[in-house]
Amino acid sequence: MIERPKILVVYYTQTGQLKRIIDTVLGPLQDKATIVYEELKPLQPFEFPWKKQVFYDTMPETVLDRPRGIEPLKVNPDEHFDLVILAYQAWFLSPSQPTAAFLHSEIAGRLLKGKPVITLIGCRNMWLNAQERVKSYLQKAGARLVGNIVLVDKSPNLLSVITILRWSFKGKKEATKWLPQAGVQEKDIIESVRFAEPIAQALENKQWDTLQSQLMALGAVDLLPNLILLEDRGIRAFRYWSKFISAKGGPGAPERQGRVRMYRGLLLIGIFVLSPIAKITSVFKLALNKSKLQEDVEYYKGTRLR
Ligand SMILES: Cc1cc2nc3c(=O)[nH]c(=O)nc-3n(C[C@H](O)[C@H](O)[C@H](O)COP(=O)(O)O)c2cc1C
């Protein structure tokens, strides 16, 4: 009897959105492969819905890559897998803390070494910087990134900021008279089933070289050039504020809450006042720097690490 290929899926999800994406993409693979799920569980859960101050207070350690610990994994680190799927979401332009905690762990090094890995991202729309960090961890672990699938909220940028904050703080995802539903569009989740076929083929032939180009041909990564510019600005500001806030103490420290409040106010001004300005300047930058930006778009769509 031919043994079925084995897939390990490592994931964390707060609202269940990412698990739905995983289940849709992997649905057709259920009877072709043995799939082992490893859900990452923070030692102290991140509460959902979030208290506002806690949400913003989570930024510094997320950006500085000092995640809260996770519970020990159930999977045997020496078990053989033919493919690892790392499903994660971006938090503050970085991998979410449970994802980062996994990547830091000794067991991740053992599980990932020499393995083909597909990253599966479900986020608002800003994931480039997070993926660069994940790529560099994978490289250090000796893993091979063979595919990247990204599902984002396709609503206009500022609208999706409003809906994600409403969802995060109030737990309300549904559309209103004025706002669309928060999160990745239902249709996009349902249609993500199309990525199963090239993954199944690659798994069967153990041939990973062309997987990402096949996934891209199916629209696995859709990237707006002006978001590259916005992320670049955003991550610089986050790095500055992370150091400034964490200089006053660790997560939740009363001494740093004044600084967290300052950053909270400025972040909202930054998003709602500066980001439309950034959008206009990006039009000029796009016109002047078109070939460089086009190069960046191609780079971020791929799996290579610069
Ligand atoms: C603390 C926090 C920060 C977030 N930051 C980002 C971000 O920088 N970029 C982005 O595209 N989405 C961001 N999101 C949205 C998440 O990536 C994700 O789409 C959402 O939290 C639902 O994921 P889940 O329920 O599967 O965990 C953030 C969400 C949270 C809770």
Q: What is the CATH number of the domain that holds 138?
A: 3.40.50.360
Task: Give percent above pLDDT 70 in the chain.
Answer: 100
Residue 263 is assigned to a structural domain of this protein: no
pLDDT reading at 226 higher than 90: no
- Residue 151 pLDDT greater than 80, yes or no: yes
| Residues lining ligand 1, Cβ inside 6 A | 13-15, 17-18, 55, 58, 89-93, 122-127, 164, 168
Which residue type sits at 111? L
Instruction: Tell whether 256 is covered by a domain.
Output: no
Q: Are 40 and 98 in contact (CB under 8 A)?
A: yes
Which has the higher per-residue pLDDT, 76 or 229? 76
Look up the domain containing 19 and give its range: 6-225
| Pairwise CA distance, residues 175 & 166, whole Å | 11
Distance in Å, CA 292 to ligand 1 centroid: 28
Rounded to the nearest whole angstrom, what is the distance from the C-alpha of residue 131 to the centroid of ligand 1? Answer: 14
198 is a domain residue: yes
Is residue 151 domain-resident? yes
pLDDT for 1 equals: 59
Using a pLDDT cut of 90, give the percent of the chain over it: 87
Q: What is the pLDDT of residue 167?
A: 98
Q: What confidence tier does 121 reach under pLDDT thresholds 50, 70, 90?
A: very high
Residue 76 maps to a domain: yes
The per-residue pLDDT for range 57-89, each reduced to its tens digit, is 999 999 999 999 999 999 999 999 999 999 999
**Whole-structure pTM over 0.85, yes or no?**
yes
Q: Is residue 128 part of a domain?
A: yes
Number of domains in the chain: 1
Q: Containing H/E element for 132?
A: helix 128-141
Collect all residues with Cβ–Cβ distance below 8 Å to 225 and sequence separation of at least 6.
Answer: 282, 286, 293, 294, 296, 297
Please check whether residue 113 lies inside any domain of the structure.
yes
Query: What integer is the mean pLDDT of 143-169?
Result: 97
199 located within any domain? yes
Q: Has residue 43 got a pLDDT over 90? A: yes
